[in-house]
Amino acid sequence: MEASNPLEPNNPIPPSPPVETEASSGSEAFAPLESETPFEEIPSAPEAIIPFTGEEIVNGTAMMLALGLRFQTPEEVQAFTTTYRAGVVPMLPPAAVLDALKVGEALAEYGIGKNRMPGMGNLADLPPWLRLVVGGLVLAMSAYGGINAAKAARVGMADTAGDSAAATN
Q: Dump pLDDT digits (tens) for 146-158.
A: 887 888 888 877 6
Domain ranges, ordered by start, for the chain? 49-117, 122-157
Q: pLDDT below 50 — which residues of the chain?
A: none
Report pLDDT for 88: 82
Q: Which is nearest to 51 in space by CA: 11, 101, 92?
A: 101
**Helices marked H in the chain:** 54-69, 74-86, 94-101, 103-109, 128-168
- Return all residues near 68 (Cβ < 8 A) that are at least 6 apart: 141, 144
Q: Dump pLDDT digits (tens) for 24-41.
A: 555 556 666 666 666 667
Separation between Cα atoms, residue 5 and residue 83, nearest integer Å: 85
Q: Which is nearest to 112 in space by CA: 24, 50, 154, 30?
A: 50
- The amino acid that residue 59 corresponds to is N
